[in-house]
Amino acid sequence: MTESTVRIGLVYPELLGTYGDRGNAVVLVERCRRRGITAELVEVAADEPLPDSLDLYLFGGGEDDPQSLASERMRASAASLTRAQASGAVVFAVCAGFQLIGASYETGAGEMLDGLGLVDMRTVGAAPRLIGEVVVDPEPTTHLPPVTGFENHSGRTTLGAGVRPLGPVSVGGGNGVGGVDGVLDDRLVGTYLHGPVLPRNPALADFLLRWIVGTDALTPIDDHLTDALHRERLAAATATGWRARLRDLRTNRG
């Protein structure tokens, strides 16, 4: 177990906090504390430089105008994030944050935003907007159960050659390209899923923490309520997915 305080960074919450993704940071801190691991939530305001001393950097979702401002701030602090990653920091990016860790994002209005370039991927805003429940089947190497969440975005994200997604989608749009959602790299996860996604998927939260504190530190905790929520959301999303497929079949048959 790590002997120092685990520092969970919530980056630019006033810009990338539209969809309640703060809940992801709260859950990570709480899951540490319940295991006797000292942890703190560090909020990094948009007018502050990004520190290079955090253990995890959480980039949340936001609308186009705040996202544009966030992209400028992120690029200005790119060197700090690079140093942090070199020291083993983890990056978890959701929706707008996910788009901005790529090479570029072209908004629906045609504005081109340069990303951090942490991942070889590009996003273009397009219609229709993707809204609704999503189920992702994570890459087998993660040993994660299905991940559930809620998407609300117009992005179409294309991953570069050799870049791994978080996993294929069985319900919902995800990246909107290739039938997958998100991205999975060394100590980095990106996804379009809100909810927030980590309260709905405690196994994914622990997957991120494992990179920071190690497997041995993740002693069992009481997850009966979050496990029940996960089962309920998975069942609801699956049922919604089947209804949509039946509707499409009927429509196509005329």
- Which positions are annotated as active-site residues? 95, 194
- C-alpha span between 206 and 97 (Å, rounded): 20
Reference 177, options 232, 216, 217, 121; nearest CA is 121
Residues in the chain: 254
Nearest 5°: CA angle at 144, between 34 and 182? 105
Other C-beta atoms closer than 10 Å to the C-beta of 41 total: 15
Other C-beta atoms closer than 10 Å to the C-beta of 183 total: 25
The strand pairing partners of 112, in sequence order, are: 106
Residue 126 buriedness (CB in 10 A; 0-12 / 13-18 / 19+): middle
Cβ contact 157:121 at 8 Å: yes
Which contacts (CB < 8 Å, 24+ apart) does range 215-220 have? 216/1, 217/1, 217/2, 217/35, 217/37, 218/35, 219/35
Cβ contact 149:132 at 8 Å: no
Per residue, the 3-state secondary structure of 37-100, as one string, reads: CCEEEEEECCCCCCCCCCCEEEECCCCHHHHHHHHHHHHHCHHHHHHHHHCCCEEEEECHHHHH
Cβ contact 221:136 at 8 Å: no
